[in-house]
Structure 1
């Protein structure tokens, strides 16, 4: 039996998040036949325009679940082999011994050993993962830069390896998913964005979901405020930004309702087959971009409570925008939450992000969304933060 929603707890958590410092946040939670939507705060700090739960939003690395689903569909059709070396398909992008060692599965679960390209494409971030040594200057310099995915991939491939192919823990890297985009284009003969739209987004009826074609978010949306760990004060609006810097790894625009529908259908075996879903849910240990070690499947990340009840989904952040969407493995509920501020944590003396009341508010929201009026808790609070 599905535990009823707790509208009071959900609303209170959003209000807490706004009071704690988020300009605005909005969400949808589904439990059986019940649906709750809520929004708190403003979409524009200058005008006071309120956020609403139907806004379109940049959802960051949640895009990876869509890309992974499209790849698994091609696996089902025999065009891609999960354990086939990527060099078989893209020898010019991943040449030689590395191309023979790195498989499609390793790209999907971040065990390829390929480095993240972002610190090489954005010079002021080249100290990453040493956050204290980074500066946000490159964000302004590249607001309208049109990157080519193959150029970004080469930056990641040419950088020092961060692990051996297939070794664990893996290291989360957007290079992996840009390569998967090139793989989709190679085997289908169309841009990866078109393949994902035609085979994943459209059949699922996700009318508010699309890849951007220019730096703007079309339709009702919020401004997106980036703080970069207190180095941008006040936070700056990056809602107008060319998203070619992440492509099919993290550029998708969606709504919280569409995210709930997508993950509900995915976990029900309606987007990929049950056997493909089982592959997506085979996890390995991966070091996230926050430096924590998480369980990661093929484009899916689990949250597990103390009673072994599993939720599957993904989090995502881009400049100024963040989101998290999860669905219960048994199909009993889904939730998605979006916020219009990122990197709100200040750094401590060791260069690590300090705890912030916003984190507590989001954890409270995840708890209320996952468990309604029951008393379960996720494995860790960190697991609930967008990756």
Structure 2
């Protein structure tokens, strides 16, 4: 989970979205880069466009009311003949943060935790300045805690120690003694460390590992049978597309398969493996009020303190309004999972970028789905 890439896809998408919004403000909403409104029959072509732009594979599930469309493009392996499985599993990267945040807010709803609680109260001595950092600060990335993941990767974005097993405390200790990025609550600064701390907080409050709480509070009630928290297992379950990184060796760029690695380096900030169907089911349940009480969902979508980010949710400005969800990435996997505010229209997309720039093509699909 490269610190600079976990939000790269979404950042690129939203930048194009803002341009599209400006271009279409006076007229009907259209997909970014398209000359006219894109209909359901064109979704396969847009998915193919992501592969044409440089991805090895792309899979998507689109929900529009009670209608569901699934599509696949490209191959499961570079140079292979087997198509990417439409129900294939993939690493969702920072989309994990929405699951972690929903679990924390569920604990808040039960009265076991407060958003105003200080980190020092629950996890004394864990982070520098914990007496001034609240649970809310962690959730919305306004804590100022540096990102532990900054130097875990080599120049090609491949984990330096791919199969090392990390404890959550070891990850947090990587930033111990580093100066804060800013005073808590004064601005937004995306840091994976915030969500590693939240995983430890869940464990401290409940007495059970954060993964167990996510399973019991989200996966099991929603029937997300294809979503897993792998712990230290480097494997992606069967029926998955492989991820690749372009690495230069002896002056030549060669693809290196980076599908397998120990995901403890991501933990509560980015370890989950899922499918497009499960991601859409999760976000629809969340936005339709089946996971959290209305007051807590309102807190989750409050953008007052951090423009474009709530509590474990990203907000994207599209020509037709705000899209809610999260983007994520591990090396070789990119995920876009966004919904309309009412949860009726959704896109869950996974693609495996290798060269070129597939992100604008991903945004074109996103806007075509949410702004029909």
Q: TM-score, normalised by structure 2?
A: 0.85
Alpha-carbon displacement from aligned partner over 1:41-83 (angstroms, at most 9, x marks no partner): 0111143221021001100000000000000000011111101
Q: Select which of 312, 318, 325 maps to 1:299.
A: 312
| Superposition deviation, residue 6 in structure 1 | 2.6
Aligned to 2:341: 329
Instruction: Name the SS for the 1:36 alignment partner.
Output: strand
- Return the alpha-carbon distance in structure 2 between the equivalents of residues 280 and 263 of structure 1: 13
Aligned to 2:328: 316
- Return the alpha-carbon distance in structure 2 between the equivalents of residues 65 and 146 of structure 1: 23
Aligned to 1:353: none
- Return the alpha-carbon distance in structure 1 between the equivalents of residues 248 and 136 of structure 2: 34
Contact 1:59/1:254 (8 A) holds in 2: yes
- 2:76 paired with 1:43: yes
Aligned to 1:82: 115
Judged with a 3 Å threshold, the aligned counterparts in structure 2 of structure 1 residues 331 and 340 are, in CA distance, closer, same or farther, namely same
1:1-387 alignment to 2 at 5 Å?
6-94=39-127, 98-122=129-153, 124=154, 135-136=155-156, 139=159, 141-168=160-187, 170-213=188-231, 214-227=233-246, 233-284=253-304, 295-307=308-320, 309-341=321-353, 344=355, 356=357, 358-372=358-372
- Return the alpha-carbon distance in structure 2 between the equivalents of residues 155 and 236 of structure 1: 27
Instruction: Name the SS for the 1:269 alignment partner.
Output: coil
For structure 1, which segment, 295-304 or 226-235, has the greater mean C-alpha deviation from structure 2 after superposition? 226-235
Answer 1 or 2: higher relative contact order, Cα 8 Å, separation at least 6.
2
Judged with a 3 Å threshold, the aligned counterparts in structure 2 of structure 1 residues 233 and 272 are, in CA distance, closer, same or farther, namely farther
Instruction: Name the SS for the 1:193 alignment partner.
Output: helix
Displaced runs of 4+ in structure 1, greater than 6 A?
228-232
Alpha-carbon displacement from aligned partner over 1:83-135 (angstroms, at most 9, x marks no partner): 1111000012025xx1110000000000000000112444x4xxxxxxxxxx1
Instruction: Name the SS for the 2:87 alignment partner.
Output: coil
- Return the alpha-carbon distance in structure 2 between the equivalents of residues 76 and 310 of structure 1: 26
Structure 2: runs of 5 or more not aligned: 1-36
- Return the alpha-carbon distance in structure 1 between the equivalents of residues 252 and 371 of structure 2: 36
Aligned to 2:29: none
- Return the alpha-carbon distance in structure 1 between the equivalents of residues 182 and 255 of structure 2: 35
| Superposition deviation, residue 228 in structure 1 | 7.6
Aligned to 1:290: none
Judged with a 3 Å threshold, the aligned counterparts in structure 2 of structure 1 residues 229 and 36 are, in CA distance, closer, same or farther, namely farther
- Return the alpha-carbon distance in structure 1 between the equivalents of residues 176 and 286 of structure 2: 31
Aligned to 2:16: none
Q: TM-score, normalised by structure 1?
A: 0.82
- Return the alpha-carbon distance in structure 2 between the equivalents of residues 282 and 229 of structure 1: 44
- Return the alpha-carbon distance in structure 1 between the equivalents of residues 133 and 353 of structure 2: 36
Contact 1:9/1:368 (8 A) holds in 2: no
Aligned residues: 335
- Return the alpha-carbon distance in structure 2 between the equivalents of residues 188 and 107 of structure 1: 18
